[in-house]
Amino acid sequence: MPLLSIENLSISFETDEGVVDVIDDVSISLEEGETLGLVGESGCGKSVTALAVMGLLPKPAGRVTGGVIRFEGRDLTQLTSEQLSRVRGDQVAMIFQEPMTALNPVHRVGKQLGESYRLHHPNASKAEIRSEALRLMDHVGIPAAERRLDEYPHQLSGGMRQRVMIAMALSSRPRILIADEPTTALDVTIQAQILELLRDLQREYGMSIIFITHDLGVIAELASRVVVMYAGRIAEEASVETLFASPLHPYTRGLLDSIPRLESESKSVLPTIPGVVPSIDELPVGCRFSNRCEFAQDQCSINKPLLELATESRTVACLRWRELEQNAVATA
C-alpha cells in the first residue's frame, strides 16, 4: 500500500470570471522512501496539488471539489483544521521555492526553527528547544550554527535560508517531505549542495519526497519516478529511466527536447514548445495540450484523452501515443 495516495483529485478556483477547474482528476501515489518527481512548466498545477496535500490551498478561492488524499488511512481533505495542524509539519512537511520570503523577517532564525519543534513537542523546555534547533542547524550544514541562531533571516544567504527551511521541515522527522521548487531561486552551485543535502537526509531519515520542479536535470539526479503534469492534468507517469529513454507524451518529448545538450551542434537553435501554458480560464476542450502539440489532429481538440497503462509500470494520457511511439521506433 502506498504511503500517500492522491485519487482522482479535482480542485477548482473561484476567479472573477467564475469557477475554474484547475486540477482535473489527478491521481498520484507515493511509496515509502521513494522520491517522486512532479514536472511541468509554470502554471501546470504542480504546486496547487502539493498545497492541497498540505491543506494550504488559498482560502476561500481554492477548493477541493472531488477525490481523496489518503494518508495513513485518513482522507486529508476531510480533516478539520485542527487535525490537519497535527499532520502538517509533523508527518508531512513542506519547503518552498522562495527562501527569501518563506522566513519571517522580524523573528530570529532560532526562534522560527525552534517553533516548529515546539509545535509538535508542546512540553519541551526552552533549553531543549534551543539545543534541538542547534542540532538541526548543524545537521543541515550551517556553519557557526550557534551564532546563526540569533541572527535574522536577512543576515543569511539564500542557500542558508533554504537550509534553515529544510531544518525546520525535518524537526519532527516527517514521513513525507514536499519540496516545491526548492532550488529554483538558488545559484547552480548552491542548488547542487541543497540537492546533495536532501539526498543525504532522505537516506538518513528514510522519508519519502515529492520533488516539484520544472527542471528535468534535477529530476534525473534525484527522483526515481516522474509524474509529468500539464494544465492541471497528468500527461504521463513513468520511472525516470524509462521517461528519459522513451517519452510517450508529445509534451514530455517537447520538454526533453528543450534541454540543451553537450553533443548538439554549436549555434544550433534550441528546440522549444511553441506557445505557453493556457491560463486556467481558456483551457482547450479535449486534450489540453492540443493547441500546442505538433501531432494534434481534429479528435485531439474534441475528445479528452484518458490516462491509460502503456506498459505495466507507466501510464500516459494521449489519444495518439501508440502511433507516435511506432513512428519514433521506425525513425530511430
Partner 1 sequence: MTSYFVRRFLLILPTFIGVTILVFTLTRLVPGGPIERMLNEAALAGAEGSTTISAGIDGRGGSVLSDEQIEQLKRYYGFDKPVILSYFDWLGKVFTLDLGTSTRYTEPVWETIKSRLPISIFYGVATLILTYGVCIPLGIVKAIKHKTAFDNVSSALVFFGYAIPSYVVGIACLTLFAANLEWFPLSGFVSDDFDDLSTIGKALDILDHAALPLVAYLAGSFAVTTMLMKNSLMDNLAADYVRTAIAKGMAFRRAVFAHACRNSLIPLATSFGNTITLVITGSFLIEKIFNIDGFGLLGFESLVERDYPVVMGILVISSLLFLIGNILSDICVAFVDPRVKFGSGGSNQ
159 binds partner 1 (CB under 8 A): no
**Are the C-beta atoms of residues 174 and 90 closer than 8 Å to each other?**
yes
Which residues have a Cβ under 8 Å from the Cβ of 138 and sit 6 or more positions away? 145
**Contacting partner 1 within 23-62 (CB under 8 A):** 54, 56
Please name the helix (run of DSSP H) or strand (run of DSSP E) that holds residue 99, with its range, or none: helix 99-102
Residue 113: which of 153, 55, 158 has the closest Cα? 153
Q: In this chain, which stretch among 95-103, 206-214, 219-227, 282-290 interacts with partner 1, using CB under 8 A?
A: 95-103
- Mask of contacts with partner 1, 62-81, x by CB under 8 A? -------------------x
Q: Which is nearer to partner 1, 118 or 253 (CB)?
A: 118
128 binds partner 1 (CB under 8 A): no
The Cβ-side half-sphere exposure at 1, using a 13 Å CA radius, reads 6
CB of residue 210 to partner 1, shortest distance in Å:
14
How far is it, in rounded angstroms, from Cα 83 to Cα 73? Answer: 14
**Contacting partner 1 within 288-307 (CB under 8 A):** none
> Exactly one of 1, 16, 18, 82 binds partner 1 (CB under 8 A); which one?
82
Residue 169 buriedness (CB in 10 A; 0-12 / 13-18 / 19+): buried
How far is it, in rounded angstroms, from Cα 121 to Cα 69? Answer: 26
> Exactly one of 6, 9, 36, 102 binds partner 1 (CB under 8 A); which one?
102
Residue 191: which of 216, 156, 158 has the closest Cα? 158
Q: Which is nearer to partner 1, 88 or 249 (CB)?
A: 88
Q: Which is nearer to partner 1, 58 or 274 (CB)?
A: 58
The two beta strands, 4-15 and 18-30, are antiparallel
Q: Which is nearer to partner 1, 185 or 218 (CB)?
A: 185
How far is it, in rounded angstroms, from Cα 219 to Cα 161? Answer: 22
> Exactly one of 78, 157, 258, 264 binds partner 1 (CB under 8 A); which one?
157
CB of residue 32 to partner 1, shortest distance in Å:
22
Q: How many residues belong to the site for partner 1 (CB under 8 A)?
A: 33
Per DSSP (E only), the strands in the chain are: 4-15, 18-30, 35-39, 62-71, 74-75, 92-95, 176-180, 208-213, 225-230, 233-239, 308-311, 314-316
> Exactly one of 152, 205, 244, 295 binds partner 1 (CB under 8 A); which one?
152
Q: Which is nearer to partner 1, 78 or 155 (CB)?
A: 155
CB of residue 16 to partner 1, shortest distance in Å:
14
CB of residue 35 to partner 1, shortest distance in Å:
19
Q: Which is nearer to partner 1, 152 or 244 (CB)?
A: 152
Helix or strand or coil: residue 245? helix
> Exactly one of 44, 76, 165, 280 binds partner 1 (CB under 8 A); which one?
165
How long, in residues, is the chain? Answer: 332
155 binds partner 1 (CB under 8 A): yes
Would you tell me which residues interact with partner 1 (CB under 8 A)?
54, 56, 81-82, 85-90, 93-94, 96, 98, 101-107, 115-116, 119-120, 152, 154-157, 165, 168, 172
